Amino acid sequence: MAFTGNLIMLQDVDTIGTNNPTYTAFPVRYIRYDTYQITPNQRMDLDSAGGQGMLRDLSGVLHRTVVHHTATKIEFETTLLRSEDVEHIMYILRSHWVNYFERDVWMMYFCPEGEKAGDESAEYGDYNASSYKYGHFYMPDIQFGIRNVDRNTIIDPDHTNRRLVNYQQIRFAFIEY
């Protein structure tokens, strides 16, 4: 699938495991593009501590046992946000978490590296360039930095008074299981 303009699309929880998944796009208007980084398809060794998965032979050559599964990491900062922006982002994220405590989410994301075409025997270069991939991710803890608080008081429809908080850029990360 060619780039559609969305970098991250969160799968709606009620469609996980179905033949007709639906997605909600993470609003790109909140993403600072110059901070958006994706580390796609990170290779993992069976035992990165040097046990059975990696070992050096008597000639000093490293032999690795790389697992088939790869993991992608996506991270970015937001633009400067106001209270209602943060509330909107958090509503979208919370409503797509499979498990609240794990903060895990299934999502489709744009992968510039592309995806291997065909089976494992496909030749080098047999890749679908710049396509969307699908994965199961968790979100590390989020830090919210306050830039300032509006001096003006706003009266909500329920007649409560509140002040708007203006936030610094917020860093979000998604790390694939």
**How many other C-beta atoms can be found within 10 angstroms of the C-beta atom of residue 33?**
9
The confidence band for 58, taking pLDDT boundaries of 50, 70 and 90, is confident
Which one of 61-70, 86-95, 107-116, 153-162 scores highest in mean pLDDT?
Answer: 86-95
Element spanning 92, H or E: helix 83-94
pLDDT, one tens digit per residue, over 124-147 is: 555 566 789 999 999 999 999 999
CA-CA distances (angstroms) from residue 169 to 35, 49, 50, 77?
10, 36, 39, 6
pLDDT number for residue 177: 94
Name the one residue in this structure whose structure tokens are 């590296």: 113
pLDDT number for residue 1: 74
Element spanning 16, H or E: none
- Contact of 76 with 32, CB cutoff 8 Å: yes
Percent of the residues in the chain that have a pLDDT greater than 70, as a whole number: 81
pLDDT number for residue 28: 97
Rounded-to-integer distance, Cα 152 and Cα 83, Å: 13
pLDDT, one tens digit per residue, over 74-133 is: 999 999 999 999 999 999 999 999 999 999 999 999 998 876 655 555 555 555 667 899
pLDDT number for residue 92: 98
Q: How do the domains of the chain map onto residue ranges? A: 8-176
- Single-letter residue type at 92: I
Q: How long, in residues, is the chain?
A: 177
| Mean pLDDT, the chain, whole residue set | 86
Q: Which of 37-46, 49-58, 164-173 is least confident?
A: 49-58
* Whether the predicted pLDDT of 70 surpasses 90: no
- Contact of 84 with 63, CB cutoff 8 Å: no
